[in-house]
Amino acid sequence: MHRPLFLEGEAGVGKTALAHALAEVTGRPMYRLQCYEGLEASQALYDWDFGRQLLHLRAAEAAGSGGDTAELEAGLYDRRFLLARPLLQALEDAPSVLLVDEIDRADDEFEAFLLELLSDFTISIPELGTVRAAVPPLVVLTSNRTREVHDALKRRCLYHWLEHPDFEREVAILRSRLPQVTEELARQVARATAKLRSLDLLKPPGIAEAMDWATALHTLGARELDPDTAARTLGAVLKYREDTDRVHALTRGALFG
Measured from each CB, the residue nearest to ligand ADP is 14
Beta 82-84 vs 5-8: how paired, if at all?
unpaired
Name which of 119, 114, 88, 89 is nearest 103 in CA terms: 114
Beta carbon of residue 253, minimum distance to Mg ion (angstroms, whole number):
34
Q: Dihedral through CA 166, CA 213, CA 248, CA 225, nearest 10? A: 80
193 binds, among Mg ion, ligand ADP, none (CB under 5 to 8 A by kind): none
* Residue count, binding to ligand ADP (CB under 6 A): 14
The dihedral through the CA atoms of 203, 162, 89, 112 has a sign that is: negative
Judged by beta carbon, residue 96 or residue 142, the one nearer ligand ADP is 142
Residue 46's DSSP bridge partners are 84
| CA gap 197, 207 in Å, rounded | 11
CB of 77 to ligand ADP, least distance (A): 37
Helix/strand/coil for 206:
coil
Question: Does 17 interact with ligand ADP (rule: CB under 6 A)?
Answer: yes
Site for ligand ADP in 117-156 (CB under 6 A): 142
CB 40 within 8 A of CB 112: no
Encoded one letter per residue, x for contact with ligand ADP by CB under 6 A and - for no contact, window 203-222 reads ---xxx--------------
Q: Closest-CB residue for Mg ion?
A: 16
Residues 171-200 that bind ligand ADP (CB under 6 A): 173, 177
**β-pair partners for 143:** 8
State the minimum distance, in angstroms, from the CB of residue 39 to ligand ADP. 17
**What's the Cα-to-Cα distance from 239 to each of 58, 124, 220, rounded to whole Å?**
52, 44, 20
Q: Based on CB atoms, which residue is closest to ligand ADP, 147 or 232?
A: 147
Alpha carbon of residue 169 to chain centroid: 21
Task: Choose between 52 and 191: whose C-beta lies nearer to ligand ADP.
Answer: 191
Which of 6, 8, 13, 110 is the binder for ligand ADP (CB under 6 A)?
A: 13
Measured from the CB atom, is 203 or 252 closer to ligand ADP?
203
Q: Which residues here bind ligand ADP, judged by CB under 6 A?
A: 9, 11-17, 142, 173, 177, 206-208
